[in-house]
Amino acid sequence: MTQLVTIFGGSGFVGRYIARRMAKAGWRVRVAVRRPNQALHVRPYGAVGQVEPVFCNIRDDASVRAVMQGADAVVNCVGILGEYGRNRFDAVQAEGAGRVARIAAELQVARLVHISAIGADAQSDSQYQRSKAEGEAQVIQHFPDAVILRPSIIFGVEDQFFNRFAAMTRFSPFLPVVGADTRFQPVFVDDVAKAAETALTSDIAPGVYELGGPDSATFRDLMQAMLAEIRRNRIIVNVPFFVGRMMGAVLDFAQIASLGLFRNTVLTRDQVRSLQRDNLVDDAAQGLDALGITPTPMDAILPSYLWVHRPGGQYKAIHESASRLRKSGH
């Protein structure tokens, strides 16, 4: 009998890769999202009817229970980077995660994978990181055999990290960066998806796995690598944390004062707090190697999608090649 997996947030950046992998593995995939009509892009990942987006609000018990009926496995990919409307860190990343785990246990779902984040810490100054830690605690409380995946910054075609900063370079000779010396260990999105697939389909130990790529670098180094890839010369400006906090406060206030008409997706005070700590896999943690996965280096992937931000787009490489031929006299 074909197995069924319910993926909460399965149309998002990470979720869609997990959905694609599970469909290729022959599973039926139920993609639980708030707006199914905006998640129709997941249907072609499998045969007709194999991958279906369905409505779910992770803040509601009945809604979560309905999409989990008959599921053999569950993956929770739901997370937010900033608070907006009713989507608060505690409601989504702590209570929502606990709700999914509790109902999965009640329905006797066989396996649960929870996507958290490196930096989850109940003692952190960042509300985002505290809510991630609380979510993990609730998952373990209700579903002790869960697998919790903690990725570092995730990169890939649809990412909001390299793409976001590359887009900023179109408008200014300067590239402001808060926490330029903070270190990250970027992990390829499909490696995260493969980790989730492995947790669902293989006999691995439950617990926490921290996922990072083979490259460890400062924020500044990552921006320099991005600039080299998009062929743009920009001055990277290290914005001090106290200035970042002021910028975040102004933008947060603008969101409140506009009654949500302006949504702060630029920089929040809480993001500044998160940036004050390195985002690296702990030396003692289980990682991709424990799952039998070889991490993908950034330079193998970044050229495949950052070319759209080059001044000449896809033709930039052709121009460069022609220029080298002219200089060599051929």
Give the number of other Cβ atoms within 10 Å of residue 152's Cβ: 23
Domain of residue 37, CATH code: 3.40.50.720
Q: What is the pLDDT of residue 317?
A: 58
- In a domain, residue 145? The reply is yes
Give the position of tokens 């924020």: 219
Lowest mean pLDDT among 53-57, 105-109, 260-264: 260-264
Q: What is the mean pLDDT of residues 100-124?
A: 98
DSSP string, 120-189: --TT-S-HHHHHHHHHHHHHHHH-TT-EEEEESSEESTT-SSHHHHHHHTTS-SEEEEETTT-EE--EEH
Q: What is the pLDDT of residues 178-230, one digit of tens each?
A: 999 999 999 999 999 999 999 999 999 999 999 999 999 999 999 999 999 99
* Residue 36 domain boundaries: 4-155+186-212+281-295
Q: What is the pLDDT of residue 312?
A: 74
- In a domain, residue 48? The reply is yes
Question: In the chain, what percentage of residues exceed pLDDT 70?
Answer: 95
Q: What is the pLDDT of residues 33-67, one digit of tens each?
A: 999 999 999 999 999 999 999 999 999 999 999 99
Distance set, CA 245 to CA 89, 166, 239, 272 (Å): 19, 23, 10, 6
- In a domain, residue 14? The reply is yes
Give the number of other Cβ atoms within 10 Å of residue 281's Cβ: 22
Q: What is the pLDDT of residue 327?
A: 60
Q: Residue 315 — very low, low, confident or very high, per pLDDT cuts 50/70/90?
A: low
Q: Residue 323 — very low, low, confident or very high, per pLDDT cuts 50/70/90?
A: low
Give the number of other Cβ atoms within 10 Å of residue 218's Cβ: 16
- In a domain, residue 264? The reply is no
- In a domain, residue 109? The reply is yes
The rounded mean pLDDT for the chain is 94
Q: Residue 318 — very low, low, confident or very high, per pLDDT cuts 50/70/90?
A: low
**Total domain count for the chain?**
1
As separate numbers, helices (DSSP H) first and strands (DSSP E) second, the chain gives: 12, 13
Q: Residue 70 — very low, low, confident or very high, per pLDDT cuts 50/70/90?
A: very high
- In a domain, residue 218? The reply is no
CB-CB contact of 152 with 213 (8 Å): yes
pTM exceeds 0.85, yes or no: yes
- In a domain, residue 52? The reply is yes
Q: What is the mean pLDDT of residues 233-261?
A: 95
Torsion, Cα 10 14 20 25, to 10 degrees, reads -100
Nearest to 312 by CA among 297, 322, 325, 298: 322
- In a domain, residue 248? The reply is no
Question: In the chain, what percentage of residues exceed pLDDT 90?
Answer: 92
Give the position of tokens 């743009």: 232
End-to-end CA distance of the chain: 63
